[in-house]
Each structure stands twice: as C-alpha cells, then as structure tokens.
Amino acid sequence: MSLKTVDLTPARWARVEELFDAAAELPESERDAYLQSACQGDPELRAYIKSLLKTDLAQVTVIEDAIRGALGKAMDGLGERDHGAGERVGPYRIERTIGAGGMGVVYLAERDDKQFEQQVAIKLVRQRLLDPEVEHRLVAERQILADLDHPNIARLFDGGTMPDGTPYLVMEYIDGVPIDDYCDQNCLDIAARLRLFRTVCTAIHYAHQNLVVHRDIKPSNILVTPEGVPKLLDFGIARLLDASGDATAGITREGAVILTPENAAPEQVRGEPITTATDTYALGVLLYRLLTGCPPYQVSMSRPTEIPAIICDVEPMAPSQKVRQLTRPLPSGNLAPDARAVLASRGLAADRLARRLQGDVDNIVLMALRKEPQRRYRTVNEFAGDIERHLSSHPVLARADTWHYRTSRFVRRHVAAVSMAATLSVLLVMFAVTTSVQNKRIAEQRDTALEISAFLEDIFREPDPGNARGASITAREILEKGAGRISSQLGDRPAIQATLMSTIGRVYYNLGEYDQSVELLQESLRIRRDVLNDQEGEVAVTKNELAATLMEKAEFDEALRLLNEAIDENRQLKGARNPDLASNYFHVAEVYQATGNIEQAEEYARNSIDMFTSLGGQHDMEVAEGKNLLARILQRRNALDEADVLLRDAIDLVERTSGSDHPLLAYYSQNYAVLLQSKGELDKAEATYYEAISITRKILGDDHSLLGGSLVMLGRLLHTREEFDEAEIAFRDALRVHRNAHGETHPFVGYDKVSLGMLLHDMDKLDEAEQQIREALGIYEQSLGAEHQYIASALTALCAIMNDAGRADEGRELIERALTIRRKDYDEKHPLLASTLSVAGRNLALLGDNEVAEPLLRDSLNVLQEQDGTDSQRVRRIRGWLRELYAAMGQPERAERYRESPVAAAKPE
C-alpha cells in the first residue's frame, strides 16, 4: 500500500504523531469520526493519517518472519553452525550464548586451563561464509580494542582463530543491563541520568583521542553494572580516523551501510564522511531517550523509504515538548501505559518533568542533534562539559536555535520557490523574525519555557545602561516591575502567568520579602485552582511553597491548613508514596517544630525521611534535609545522641551524593556545632563553628548569607563563654555579611542586631544595646509583621535592658506584648515562652509585685533547667533572680537554696 505524501514541517510531523497515536488506541469503528473532528479543515492531513492506520503491520511482521526464516535456512546450507555449551575456544570453555549482533555471536565462557579462574565474553563471527567481510571487521575490532584502555570501555583480553579459521575476541564480561533499562529500573532522576551519561561521554572522548569513532552508540552497546559503572561495548562497526578527523574507508566495503537507523546521523544516511560529530549525534539520541523514554524520531523499518527524509529533514522536538506530547491524556482521559511508566521511572509528574527539561537541557540535546555536523558540539568533551555546567548551575554553551536559522532551513527546503525571487526570500526572513515576537498564533506553538525566558529577558533588559540612562536600578525594583507586568500583560496566558508568579514569589522569599512573596504565591494558587484545569498537582505544589512562606511570617495555622490540603491532593493524584507528599510531611514537621509540638514534629519528620528513602537514591539530598530537621527536633527533646547520629548521617549523605564542596555541608556543620554546644562540648563546638566558617568561605565566598549564620552562632557561643570582645567581632562580621547579601531590612539583619544588643547589654553598654534592639524591632515589624516570634524575642531582650537600666516601668508593656505573642504559638513548657516568662518575673519583682513574680521565675527555671541542664548561663541567672527575690521577701533560707557564684544580668533568648 502506498502512503500519501504530505509536506511535514516539524510542527506538522508532531501533529501527525499525536493524532496517529490517539487514533491507534481507538477501535477501528471510532477512528473515522475521531479524525473527522480532530483534522477539521485539513482533509490532506486526515487522509495521510488514515493511510498510516491502514498499513497492515501484522502482514509486515509475517513477511519479515518469512524472510528471516528463509535466510536462516540459507545460512544453514552455507555451513554456519552454533557453538554449544562445553565447546573449547582457545583456553576457554563456552557456557551459554549471551548476545548476538549483526556481525557475531557473543558467548559467556570460563577459563578452562586451570591457570586461574575468569569469566569472559567471547565474540565469534557468524555468517562467515555468507559475508567474508565480517571477518575483516572482527579483526579490525580486535586491533581497535587492543589500543583502548579506559575504565568505561570493555577490555580486550585475548584473540585468536578457531581450528576452522573463525576469528574470535575474548573480552571483559560485563554483568550489566542496557543503560536505559538501568536508569528506569533504578528510577534515576534527571540529574542522576545526566551524571551517568556524562561518564559515557568520557569513554567516547577517549576513543576519539585514540582516533576511533564508534558509529553505533545505542543503549544495548552501553551496559551498566550493579555498582552503577557504565561500560561501552561493540566496536564492531567502528572506524579509524585519519589526520583530518574523517573516518577511513577501509573497514566496511564500498556501498555497504551498516548502522542502526534510529540512531543514525544525517551524514550516515546520506553516505557522507563520518567524523567524531557522528558519535556526538548518536550520544544526543541516547540522551534524548534517557530523558524522555523515547527516541527523537519515530522510524519504522516497514517504511524504509521514509527514513532518510525523517532523519535528514524533520527537526526533532525539544525533550520537554516530547514529554508533554507523550503524557497527553488519551480520549478516555487516562495516560497511556508507556507515559505512566516514563513518569514513574523518573519520579516526577508530567508537568514537573517537562519543566525540569525545558531550557538548558532542551538546548543541550538539540545542539547535539543538529543536522549539520559542524553546528554540533565541536567535541564530545565539550558536550560533557555543557552537562557539567548545567548540573552545577553555570551558563551552558548551547543556545536555542534562532529564528534566522529556522528560516534558512525553510528556504533550503523550498529552493525552487525561493529562487524565483531573491527579494521575496529576504522579506520572508524578516517576516519570520518579526512574527516570532508579535504573532500570537506562532508564539503559542513555541515552547512555554522560551516564552518565559523572553518575558524575563525583557524585564532584565531595563538595567542595561543603554536603557537605564544612568539611573541605578536594584534587583528589588526589577522584581517589582516584573511582578506588575506579569499581572497586567499575561492575563491571556494563565499557565505562564501562574508559573512566573510562583518563580518571582520564591525569589521574594529568598530575599526575605515575605509580604510580596505571599501576594504572588496566593495569586498563582488562585489561577492554578480557579482558571487552569490542574492535572498534575501544581495546586498542591503551590500550596507547599505558600505554606513555607507563611511559616516565615509566623502564620502557622494557615500554613498547616494549606499543607494538609496539599497532602490530601497529592495522595489522590499521585498515590500513597510520592516525592511531593514526602515534601509536604517535611514542611508539616517544620511547622510543628516551630510551634513547639515536638511529638508531631518528630512523627512527620520520620515519615518524610522514610518515604524519601523508599523512593530511591535520587532523593538522597531530601533524606539528608529530613535528618537534619529531625536532629534539630530531637535536640529540643534533649535526645542529643540520636541527633548526633542523624546529623553525621546527613553530612555523609551530602558528601556521597554531591561531593565535599556542597553548600549544605557548611550548613550541617554549623548545626552540628549547635548540637555540640547543647551537649556541653563547648571546645568541640567552637572548633566546628570555625570549620563551618572555613568551609563556607571556601565554597561560597566571604559574602554569602550562610557565612553570616555561622558567624552569629559562633558569636553566641563566645558570648556564653563570656569572651565578649571575640563575640562582638563575630556579631559585627555577621551583620556585615547579611547587610551585603540581603540589604538593611532583612530579618537576618534584625537577628544579628538582637544578638549584638544582648551582648552589649551584658557588656553594660545599655544605650547602644537598646539602639540595636529597637532597630531590630523596626526591621522585624516591617518584614515579618507584628505577631512574629522574632518580635517577641526582641521585646524580651528590650525589657531585660529596661530592667537593668532602672526603667522597669517602661519594660512592663514590652514584656506583656511579648507574652501575648509567645502564648499564641507555644505552651507553658516551651523554652522560648519560659525564657520570656523569666524576664517578666524579673520585671514584676523590680516593680515590687513579688507574689506574682515568684511562680513565674520558679516555673521558668524548671523548664529551662530540664532543657539546658543545671549549669547553663540563663539557668544560673534565673537562680540569681530568685535569690534576690527571696531576700527581698525576707526568706533567706529559700534564697540560700539558689546560692551560686555571681552572674551577669539577664540575657534572654
């Protein structure tokens, strides 16, 4: 049956694939009606798809089977024989067949000469009498392998000739599975797949350095061992390169085309010279399959005449677009089984997988798959380098094809028409470039990621000196302008509008601008929930992000409500075990920890860790984060030994997963120092703080916010040890870092000022201490709102200063407000509430209300003594206050119970 021909542009080819796949799923009786509706206004497209559907693939299979059977009989008549178990090949004994290719059969064999034990793979020529050239290729492969010594290339051990003249190779036996199967069976995420692929590139680059081009890179030729080590096999059709970089022609006979069509580069199909760029193309095909689960083109051996046109003329879809096409629901509303398998093996919902691929990954893959060899990566090493740059968040070399290039391809495909009028071709190029920006119909066909990139590029063009004309434009001003334009200009593109709002909302979160973050995330949530038909759980994702921001504003009840809704939605959409659900559990644990519900916090943290662990090694970093959180929770319960084990596990996970230069190592080292301080191991804690500071400076530099966090915690330790001068240096350095990183109004700056103010209080510099605390209060009220727990901490510290400055009456209103905020989130057993109650008791005692002050001081002492131990600084201070109180009440015996060495005045948390 001949198929009707249709002019297949990339977009049109994608439409054909989409409609063919959908129609093929339907009963034959329903296909005509479906195509009539789907192809309305395009009868040519409908007829073409119908002709595809009428191709009897079963009949093709019968014909292929008949040809294969006849060929097998002919081969038997030509003397080919099977080499059975037990047969000797040199010093080896064959055990069983493990594979067969176009050139030879591969057997598993054991060394059988009693010299030593060794399992090997032996390749022997088959069909030798039918095709003598195969023997020459095997000899060439033997020479190629003998010259290659690389840990990711299967090694050649031996070679020789059977008594009947059959040559053989003895190679390293690789007990592994094809690389695509390995990735899917182990549910590797995209980053892990990219890292594994990068290792394969090193082997190919090594072969190229030794003047060998492989020419048949495909999953079955790359096995991955159980330890995760990829091994490159089968140089059976490899060619040696001459000095110019072209493959020599001596290994395959003239006119013979030996390749796997699905992986073949355009120059292979056209019979043009083979270079290292051919392997680069095949690696691009391989990476495409690892990322999306399918090849960039659908070629069928039942229609061989179409293969050259598809490979040479049809532009491949970007991987992110391919994922979106693959995961479109069938007419029944369900996902195809293949689509479900692709998503499950990558641990992501369809939209999240597409978003993970769009941008850099799309560009990298498409650059490797360019039709012209000279437009691909210059070397495989450059290809691998772009993968590394992407994984480390650096700019990549690959760039999306320009409209100029797309237009030139259009002109080349229509030479006859364009040659009629050169002027018309120029106008066509100008029209294509202009309409790529202005024409909404064309813009809608472009990838969503490119639209987002163009929008953001326009926003960030404003700081260009040519546009700013001398004005200084800050990052916050850019964000404000961008947020306003998203609301006003993208109303007709709600999906992009919601995505950009979430993105800028997260940026505001990182800047500490929580009000702006909440506003954008709430609007993004409204659009996803009320305007878009959320199929992939993006509503739940946005609720998770919004909850994290609300926690920073101390709106814990609303954060918990959103997280519980997200949990229900994720369970319904994605099942009882999925990464988004595990992330919800993690944030719920954070809420409970912040509000003092330690039992619930511990339960959710453990559930998050267990779920991420069960989902596979691609979630090791999330497991580490969960263990870090659980360690902090257990510190609150004084379960310090288990917290110690968890933190060291978290550090080990990060080192094994991401290396010794990951920023989380600095953060976890800081937390470990806090733990050591809680255990009373102050010398070790101090040394660990300095280690965390050193790691942070090495990895992130001298101005990163994380450095400020380590400095302020070191300052608090030094303050506890009454090394006031050193503590002041640490606090002021932390203040410098956080100001440079976040500006003057970030909560971190407020935290540093409170810490510095408390130190200055203990140094009897009460005026400067008061100034620092009041400035911190202004920052907190501006950035966090009036009810945040940081406000309560600052008010408590300010009241302590008023108490010691002889202004207890001014402190009364401050501490009452602090207690109102504390009691909103914490019960009476929470250490933060107890610390504020102790300062309130001290204030009442100074005001002469001893009867009310006594239970406040006594109860807070019991809570903090259980939390900190009997010899902590604040426990000793409260004992001193109780001693003063009982002395003032004329009860010297009770005062004596709290006798200890004199201590400084109050320094609350």
Question: What's the mean pLDDT in 862-889?
Answer: 87
123 is in an annotated binding site: yes
92-100/88-89 β-pairing: antiparallel
What is the SS3 assignment for 103? coil
Angle between helices 598-614 and 579-594 (to 10 degrees): 160
Containing 109, the helix (H) or strand (E) segment is strand 104-111
What local confidence, expressed as pLDDT, does residue 259 receive?
A: 57
Q: Residue 203: pLDDT above 70?
A: yes
| pLDDT band at residue 513 under the 50/70/90 scheme | confident
Q: What is the pLDDT of residue 473?
A: 44
Q: Is the pLDDT of residue 689 over 70?
A: yes
Q: Pairing state of beta strands 177-178 and 104-111?
A: unpaired
pLDDT-derived band at 72 (thresholds 50, 70, 90) equals very low
Q: How far apart are CA 275 and CA 242, in angstroms?
A: 10
Tokens of 478: 């850019």
Mean pLDDT computed over 688-696: 88
Options 180, 216, 733, 868, the catalytic residue: 216
Least confident range of 230-244, 279-293, 380-394, 884-898: 230-244
CATH number of 177-316+368-394: 1.10.510.10
Q: Is the pLDDT of residue 133 over 60?
A: no
Among 339, 453, 384, 447, smallest CA distance to 21 is for 339
Measured over the CA atoms of residue 792, residue 796, residue 799 and residue 801, the dihedral's sign is: negative
- Mean of the pLDDT values across residues 492-498? 78
What's the N-to-C CA distance of the chain in angstroms?
83
Res. 1: pLDDT tops 60: no
Distances (CA, A) of 690 to 676, 684, 695, 711: 13, 10, 9, 9
Q: What is the mean pLDDT of residues 349-354?
A: 85
Secondary structure E strands in 139-260: 156-161, 167-172, 177-178, 212-213, 222-224, 230-232, 239-240
Are the beta carbons of 102 and 258 closer than 8 angstroms?
yes
Domain ranges of the chain: 10-55, 81-172, 177-316+368-394, 791-896
Instruction: Report how far residue 99's alpha carbon sits from residue 123's, in angstroms, rounded to the nearest whole number.
Output: 9
**DSSP 8-state class, residue 468:** H
Tokens of 150: 């690389």
Q: What is the pLDDT of residue 82?
A: 58
The whole-number pLDDT of residue 530 equals: 82
What is the reported pLDDT for 101? Answer: 61
Per-residue pLDDT of 157-183, as tens digits, reads 887 878 777 778 888 888 899 999 999
Distance CA 235, CA 251 (A): 11
CA-based nearest residue to 35, from 25, 21, 49: 49
Question: Would you place residue 422 in the very low, low, confident or very high pLDDT band (cuts 50, 70, 90)?
Answer: very low
Burial code (b: 16+ CB inside 10 Å, e: under 16) for 476-499 equals eebbeebbeebeeebeebebbbbb
pLDDT of residue 677: 87
Contacts of 170 (CB under 8 A, 6+ apart): 89, 90, 92, 109, 120, 121, 122, 156, 157, 158, 159, 160
In this prediction, residue 663 carries a pLDDT of 80
Q: Are 339 and 325 in contact (CB under 8 A)?
A: no
pLDDT of residue 19: 79
Tokens for 871, please give them: 């010899």
Residue 512: band (very low, low, confident or very high) from pLDDT cuts 50, 70, 90: low
- For residues 685 and 485, what is the distance between their CA atoms, to the nearest angstrom? 49
User: pLDDT for 303-334, tens place per residue?
Assistant: 555 677 788 878 888 998 888 888 877 655 56
Please tell me the predicted confidence (pLDDT) of residue 455.
55
**pLDDT tens-place string over residues 222-241:** 999 999 999 998 765 455 54
In the block, which residue shows the tokens 């606090």? 731
State the CATH class of domain 791-896. Answer: mainly alpha
Tokens 């100029």 belong to 404
- Strand residue runs (E) in 744-830: none
Confidence class of residue 406 from pLDDT cuts 50, 70 and 90? very low
Question: Tens digits of per-residue pLDDT, 601-638?
Answer: 999 999 999 999 988 878 889 999 999 999 999 987 77
At residue 545, the 3 state secondary structure works out as: helix
Place of tokens 């992939």: 536
Give residues with Cβ within 8 angstroms of 341, minimum separation 6: 184, 293
Tell me the CB-side half-sphere exposure of residue 533, using CA atoms within 13 A. 2
Cα gap 782→789, rounded to integer Å: 14
Region 248-270: mean pLDDT is 58
Residue 611: what pLDDT?
92
pLDDT tens digits, one per residue of 545-565: 999 888 877 788 899 999 999
- Residue 199 is predicted with a pLDDT of 92
Lowest mean pLDDT among 219-228, 388-397, 803-812: 388-397
At residue 135, the pLDDT reads 55
Could you say which architecture CATH assigns to the domain 81-172? Answer: 2-Layer Sandwich (3.30)
Give the distance, in angstroms, between the CA of residue 102 and the centroid of all CA atoms in the same chain: 39
What pLDDT, in 10s, does the model give residues 5-48?
Answer: 455 555 666 677 677 767 777 777 778 888 888 887 788 888 87
Highest mean pLDDT among 469-473, 797-801, 902-906: 797-801
What tokens appear for 269 in the block?
């199909």
The mean pLDDT value for 649-661 works out to: 86
**pLDDT tens-digit map of 760-808:** 999 999 999 999 999 999 998 887 778 888 899 999 999 999 999 999 9
DSSP letter at 903 equals: -
Whole-number Å distance between alpha carbons of 580 and 585 = 9
User: 69: buried, middle or exposed (CB in 10 Å: 19+, 13-18, 0-12)?
Assistant: exposed
121 sits in which H/E element? strand 119-125
Q: Give the residue with greater pLDDT, 584 vs 208.
A: 584
For residue 239, what is the enclosing H or E element?
strand 239-240
Chain-centre distance for alpha carbon 747: 28
The reply to whether 216 belongs to the active site is yes
